[in-house]
């Protein structure tokens, strides 16, 4: 939570320490698949089990997996990834509710500041896989799309999993944002929507092998 009593200079040092700690712990992880989704969709949800399978497929292909470290979809993907060939990593955030670190993490880091955590996600991303989620999931999705759109990062696959869940948003992007001239047709090509975890894994792994596998260090 935000500490209003902390002097600004000391807050800068705390931010700096989070950056240094995150970079140091992940210094050997050049590239990873980043997976987002709701903390509220637990083992009773089919999306949880899809996330678990995606984690297994990515890890088995030698691609480290990074999630937000919490329960729900994050737990599912870490559970699938751990022990299957590549590292399972959680970038946890200190929140008043919902965030409790799941036990399926080879590397578990904790952050106070969202923007530091988001920097760490982007620093290592070769793909974003986005399961159904809430405001936090949408925040990460649209930040990635904005950075790719504005060429502030190298383009990478942004894959939305669960066509039924995402279709309403996609229709709004096409029928409102595009029609009103707020985005272009090219912007709609910055992400893809799939139902199959196998298809999502294929898109991500193919991109990784084409552009980054030669640098593999994990």
**pLDDT 10s digit of each residue in the chain, 218 long?**
445 666 777 788 888 988 988 889 898 898 999 999 999 999 999 999 999 999 999 999 999 999 999 999 999 999 999 999 999 999 998 776 656 789 999 999 999 889 999 999 999 999 999 999 999 999 999 999 999 999 999 999 999 999 999 999 999 999 999 999 999 999 999 999 999 999 999 999 999 999 887 665 44
Please provide residue 136's backbone torsions phi and psi, each rounded to the nearest 5 degrees.
-60, -40
- The fold of 8-213 is Rossmann fold (3.40.50)
In order of 10, 119, 169, 184, the CA distances from 123 in angstroms are 25, 6, 27, 26
Write out the DSSP string of 14-57.
HHHHHHHHHHHHTTT---EEEEE--TT--TTSHHHHHHHHHHHH
- The pTM (predicted TM-score) of the whole model is 0.90
What does the block give as tokens for 149? 């759109």
Dihedral sign for Cα atoms in the order 143, 217, 92, 47: positive
H or E element at residue 56: helix 46-60
Q: What is the largest CA-CA distance in the chain?
A: 49
Residue pLDDT, tens place only, 29-86 = 989 999 999 999 999 999 999 999 999 999 999 999 999 999 999 999 999 999 999 9
pLDDT at 31: 94
Give bridge partners of residue 128 from the DSSP assignment: 34, 158
Three-state secondary-structure class, residue 87:
coil
Instruction: Output DSSP code: residue 96.
Output: S
Q: Are 92 and 75 in contact (CB under 8 A)?
A: no
Listed by start position, the domains of the chain span 8-213
């Amino acid at each position: 939570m935000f500490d209003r009593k902390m002097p600004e200079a000391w807050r800068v040092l705390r931010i700096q320490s989070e950056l240094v700690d995150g970079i140091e712990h992940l210094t050997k992880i050049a590239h990873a698949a980043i997976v987002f989704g709701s903390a509220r969709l637990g083992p009773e949800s089919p999306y949880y089990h899809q996330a678990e399978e995606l984690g297994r497929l990515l890890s088995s292909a030698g691609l480290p997996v990074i999630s937000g470290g919490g329960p729900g979809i994050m737990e599912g993907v870490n559970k699938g990834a751990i022990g299957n060939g590549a590292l399972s990593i959680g970038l946890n955030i200190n929140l008043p509710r919902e965030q409790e670190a799941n036990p399926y993490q080879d590397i578990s880091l904790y952050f106070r500041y969202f923007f530091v955590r988001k920097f760490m996600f982007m620093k290592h991303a070769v793909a974003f896989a986005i399961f159904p989620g809430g405001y936090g999931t949408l925040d990460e999705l649209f930040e990635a799309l904005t950075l790719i759109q504005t060429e502030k990062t190298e383009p990478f696959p942004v894959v939305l999993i669960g066509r039924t869940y995402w279709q309403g948003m996609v229709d709004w992007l096409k029928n409102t944002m595009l029609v009103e001239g707020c985005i272009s047709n090219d912007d709609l090509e910055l992400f893809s929507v799939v139902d199959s975890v196998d298809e999502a894994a294929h898109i991500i792994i193919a991109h990784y092998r084409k552009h980054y596998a030669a640098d593999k260090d994990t």
